[in-house]
C-alpha cells in the first residue's frame, strides 16, 4: 500500500519499527504533492526544504530514542491562518500576501516539540470567511473525490490535503463549522474542541469568541492522538481554559452500551438532502443496535443560530480586521494622504466576502442598531446555550448531520451568500455555545460524495464524542472505503 494512503498512527508504528524512515515518508508525500496538487490546489505555500530538514532531524531522534512522540517524523499540513515562524502566513488574503510571522503559534510550538514534518500551509476562505474555499484570494481548492466539487471550507485546503493523501494529518480552525464541514465534504474526521481547550495564540483572529483550532485526520485514532498534542492551558491566550488535558487515546474504546444519544428534530432542516438524512438515520439505527439509547430532544432556538452567528461573527471580524490599515500589518497601497492610503489599501487588498462582513459587522455595531442586532444576537447566543444545557441533563451526546448537503459544485453557490450561510445551520450552534463536536464519515451519496455526521459533546467532554465516534467508525469501517481518492 502506498505510504500516503496510511493513517498517521500506522505511519508512526512503521517509524518506530524502523520499517520506514522519516525521510522516506517526507519523500512519499512530497512526490504525491508534486503529482496531484496542481489538480487539487490544497496548498498555498509548500515547504519541501524545511520538511526535509525536519525529517532528517526526526530520523536522528528515532535512531537515538527508539520510542518517539506521536507526531515525530509524520508529514502534516497547517491552515494558512496559523502563524508559522519564518513561513509565509497569508490567510488566503492579498492583504497578507507577504506576511512572514516572527513567531510560532502555540500549537506550532507543541507540534515542533514533537518533531513533526510540516509540508506546507493550506488554502482556505480568505480570513476563514466562507464554507467552500472559493473565497481564497489565490485559487479555489478542489474536492479529491470529484474535482468539480468544493472541498468545503474554510479549512478546505487542509481537508483536501488529508483526503487526497497530500498530508497524513492537518490542522484547521473552526469558527462556525470550518473544520467539521470540510471534513464531512471530504470524507475524513474533523474535531472542533471546546472553546478554550486549544490555545488561540498565533491564530489570526476572525471572530475571537468563536474561533478554535483542531485536527483534520483520516480516522478517529489520529484525531485523539493529535488532540493530545495540541490541547492544554496557555497563559498567552486569555480565554484558555484552566483544565487538565486527559489522554484522549484512552477514549479509543468500542463501547456505547447505555450511552444516551439525543436526536434534535431541529437539525433535520428544510432543504436537507434526502440521502444525507437517510445516512444519519441509518447511523442512529447502528448506534441503537450497538446498545445506545436513542432519545428525541428539542433544541428550539436552533433556527435563530445562523442569523445570530452572522451578526456576531462579522461584528467581531470588523474589530479584528481593523488592524489591516496599511500601517500596522500587511500590505499598503499608497494614496495622496493617510485616509486615501487606508482606503486604497483596504479596497484593493480585501476580497468581496471580507468586505461584505466588515460592512455587516459595522452595521450591527453602529449606534442605533446595536440593541436591535448585536445585543439581540448575544441574547440568542445565551438561549442556544441554554437549550444544550437542558438537553444534556437527559443525554450524554447529541447526534446530527454535519451539513445539510454533500459537497456542491464549484461556482454553484458563490453568488448566493444567503444560501451559502444556510449551509452552516448544523455547525454554528456549537460555536455559539462553545461545545466540542466531531464530524466523521457515515455514508457515500449515489454520486460518490462523502456524507458526514456530527457528534456534539458537553463542555470539555471531547472524550465522550471520541468514544462514540470511534465505536461507530470501528464497527462500520467507512474511512477505509472512502480514503481512496481519484487522481
Residues noted as catalytic: 79, 154, 178
CA distance 167 to 184: 17
Q: Give Rg (Cα) of the chain.
A: 21
Shorter beta-carbon distance to ligand GLN: residue 227 or 313:
313
Nearest to 73 by CA among 26, 105, 120, 5: 26
- Select from 31-39, 173-181, 252-260, 454-462 the region that touches ligand GLN (CB under 6 A): 173-181
Round to whole Å and give the CA distance between 175 and 312.
Answer: 11
**How many Å apart are CA 198 and CA 88, to the nearest integer?**
22
Q: Enumerate residues 193-222 that contact ligand GLN by CB under 6 A.
A: 206
Shortest separation between residue 5's beta carbon and ligand GLN, angstroms: 28
Those residues with Cβ within 8 angstroms of residue 17's Cβ, 6 or more apart along the chain or in another chain: none
- For residue 323 the three cell numbers come to 488592524
CA-to-CA dists, residue 384 to 379, 389, 433, angstroms: 9, 9, 7
Regarding 129 and contact with ligand GLN (CB under 6 A), the answer is yes
DSSP state of 454: E
Answer yes or no whether residue 190 interacts with ligand GLN by CB under 6 A.
Answer: no
Provide the mask over 373-412, with x wherever binding to ligand GLN is found by CB under 6 A and - wherever it is not: ----------------------------------------
* CB-nearer residue toward ligand GLN: 192 or 458: 192
The distance of closest approach from Cβ of residue 199 to ligand GLN in the complex, given in angstroms and rounded to an integer, is 17
Instruction: Name the grid cell of 220.
Output: 478517529
Nearest-angstrom CA–CA distance, 458 and 14: 36
Nearer to ligand GLN, 178 or 225 (CB): 178
Which of the ranges 86-94, 123-131, 278-286, 400-408 carries the binding residues for ligand GLN, by CB under 6 A? 123-131
Residues in the chain: 487
Instruction: Give the pairing of strands 169-174 and 260-264.
Output: unpaired
Is there binding between residue 178 and ligand GLN (CB under 6 A)? yes
- Shorter beta-carbon distance to ligand GLN: residue 221 or 400: 400
Residue 164 vs 176, nearer CB to ligand GLN: 176
Binds ligand GLN by CB under 6 A, chosen from 21, 175, 184, 445: 175
Binding mask 415-434 for ligand GLN (x = CB under 6 A): ---------x----------
Q: Count CB atoms within 10 A of the CB of residue 394.
A: 10
Residue 21 grid coordinates:
524512515
The C-alpha cell 445585543 sits at 375
What letter does residue 397 receive in the DSSP assignment? E
For ligand GLN, which stretch binds (CB under 6 A), given 12-20, 44-52, 169-177, 319-327? 169-177
Taking residue 487's Cβ as centre, other Cβ atoms within 10 Å add up to 11
Q: Tell how strand 397-401 and strand 293-297 pair up.
A: unpaired
Cα→Cα distances 125→88, 117, 138, 226, 447, Å: 16, 24, 10, 24, 25
Burial class (CB in 10 A: 0-12, 13-18, 19+), 371: exposed
Nearest approach, Cβ of residue 386 and ligand GLN (Å): 23
Closer to ligand GLN by Cβ: residue 134 or 219 = 134
Q: Is 131 in the site for ligand GLN (CB under 6 A)?
A: yes
Are 217 and 162 within 8 A, CB to CB?
Answer: yes
Among 69, 75, 76, 130, binds ligand GLN (CB under 6 A): 130
Contacting residue, 80, 104, 126, 174, with ligand GLN by CB under 6 A = 174
**How many angstroms separate the CA atoms of 192 and 178, rounded?**
9
Q: Which stretch binds ligand GLN (CB under 6 A): 124-132, 228-236, 291-299, 384-392?
A: 124-132
Q: C-beta of 124: minimal distance to ligand GLN in Å? A: 8
Q: Does 156 bind ligand GLN (CB under 6 A)?
A: no
Count of residues binding ligand GLN (CB under 6 A)?
13
Determine if 154 is a binding residue for ligand GLN (CB under 6 A). Answer: yes
Contact 426, 454 (CB under 8 A): yes
Looking at the Cβ atoms of 305 and 465, the one nearer to ligand GLN is 305
Stretch touching ligand GLN by CB under 6 A, among 18-26, 43-51, 126-134, 296-304: 126-134
Q: At closest approach, how far in Å is the CB of 415 from ligand GLN?
A: 15
CA distances from 132 to 149, 166, 219, 412, 421 (A): 9, 19, 22, 10, 11
CB of 69: closest distance to ligand GLN in angstroms? 29
101, 156, 177, 443: residue in contact with ligand GLN (rule CB under 6 A): 177
Shortest approach of ligand GLN to residue 486 CB, angstroms?
26
Stretch that binds ligand GLN, among 12-20, 174-182, 392-400, 438-446 (CB under 6 A): 174-182
Q: What does residue 168 show for φ and ψ, rounded to 5 degrees?
A: -80, -25
Binding site for ligand GLN (CB under 6 A): 128-131, 154, 174-178, 206, 313, 424
Amino acid at each position: 500500500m502506498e505510504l500516503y494512503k496510511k493513517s498517521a498512527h500506522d505511519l508512526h508504528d512503521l517509524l518506530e519499527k524502523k520499517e520506514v524512515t522519516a525521510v522516506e515518508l517526507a519523500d512519499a508525500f512530497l512526490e504525491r504533492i508534486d503529482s496531484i496538487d496542481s489538480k487539487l490546489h490544497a496548498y498555498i505555500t509548500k515547504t519541501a526544504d524545511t520538511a526535509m530538514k525536519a525529517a532528517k532531524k526526526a530520523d536522528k531522534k528515532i535512531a537515538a530514542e527508539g520510542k518517539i512522540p506521536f507526531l515525530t517524523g509524520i508529514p502534516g499540513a497547517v491552515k494558512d491562518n496559523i502563524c508559522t515562524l519564518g513561513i509565509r502566513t497569508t490567510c488566503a488574503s492579498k492583504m497578507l500576501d507577504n506576511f512572514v510571522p516572527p513567531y510560532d503559534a502555540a500549537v506550532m510550538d507543541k507540534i515542533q516539540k514533537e518533531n513533526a514534518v510540516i509540508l506546507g500551509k493550506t488554502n482556505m476562505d480568505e480570513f476563514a470567511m466562507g464554507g467552500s474555499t472559493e473565497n481564497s484570494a489565490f485559487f479555489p481548492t478542489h474536492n479529491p473525490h470529484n474535482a468539480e466539487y468544493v472541498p468545503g471550507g474554510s479549512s478546505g485546503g487542509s481537508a483536501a490535503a488529508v483526503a487526497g493523501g497530500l498530508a497524513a494529518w492537518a490542522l484547521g480552525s473552526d469558527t462556525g463549522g470550518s473544520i467539521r464541514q470540510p471534513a464531512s465534504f471530504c470524507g475524513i474526521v474533523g474535531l472542533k474542541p471546546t472553546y478554550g481547550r486549544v490555545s488561540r495564540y498565533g491564530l489570526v483572529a476572525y471572530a475571537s469568541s468563536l474561533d478554535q483550532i483542531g485536527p483534520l485526520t483520516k480516522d478517529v485514532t489520529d484525531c485523539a492522538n493529535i488532540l493530545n498534542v495540541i490541547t492544554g492551558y496557555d497563559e498567552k491566550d486569555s480565554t484558555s481554559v484552566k483544565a487538565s488535558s486527559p489522554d484522549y487515546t484512552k477514549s479509543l474504546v468500542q463501547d456505547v452500551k447505555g450511552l444516551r444519544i439525543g436526536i434534535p428534530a431541529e437539525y433535520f432542516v428544510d432543504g436537507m438532502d434526502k440521502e444525507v438524512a437517510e445516512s444519519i438515520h441509518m447511523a442512529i439505527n447502528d448506534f441503537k443496535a450497538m446498545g445506545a439509547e436513542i432519545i428525541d430532544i428539542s433544541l428550539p432556538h436552533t433556527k435563530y443560530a445562523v442569523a445570530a452567528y452572522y451578526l456576531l461573527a462579522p461584528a467581531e471580524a470588523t474589530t479584528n480586521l481593523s488592524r489591516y490599515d496599511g500601517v500596522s500589518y500587511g500590505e499598503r497601497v499608497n494614496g495622496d494622504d493617510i485616509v486615501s492610503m487606508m482606503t486604497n489599501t483596504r479596497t484593493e487588498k480585501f476580497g468581496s466576502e471580507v468586505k461584505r462582513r466588515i460592512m455587516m459587522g459595522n452595521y450591527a455595531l453602529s449606534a442605533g442598531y446595536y440593541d436591535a442586532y448585536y445585543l439581540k444576537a448575544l441574547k440568542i447566543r445565551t438561549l442556544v446555550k441554554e437549550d444544550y444545557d437542558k438537553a444534556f441533563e437527559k443525554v450524554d451526546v447529541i447526534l446530527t448531520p454535519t451539513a445539510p448537503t454533500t459537497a456542491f459544485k464549484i461556482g454553484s453557490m458563490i453568488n448566493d451568500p444567503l444560501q451559502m450561510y444556510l449551509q452552516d445551520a448544523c455547525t454554528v450552534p456549537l460555536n455559539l455555545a462553545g461545545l466540542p463536536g466531531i464530524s466523521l464519515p457515515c455514508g457515500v451519496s449515489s454520486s460518490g460524495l462523502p456524507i458526514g455526521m456530527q457528534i456534539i459533546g458537553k463542555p470539555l467532554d471531547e472524550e465522550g464524542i471520541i468514544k462514540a465516534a470511534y465505536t461507530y467508525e470501528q464497527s462500520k469501517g467507512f474511512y477505509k472505503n472512502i480514503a481512496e481518492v481519484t487522481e
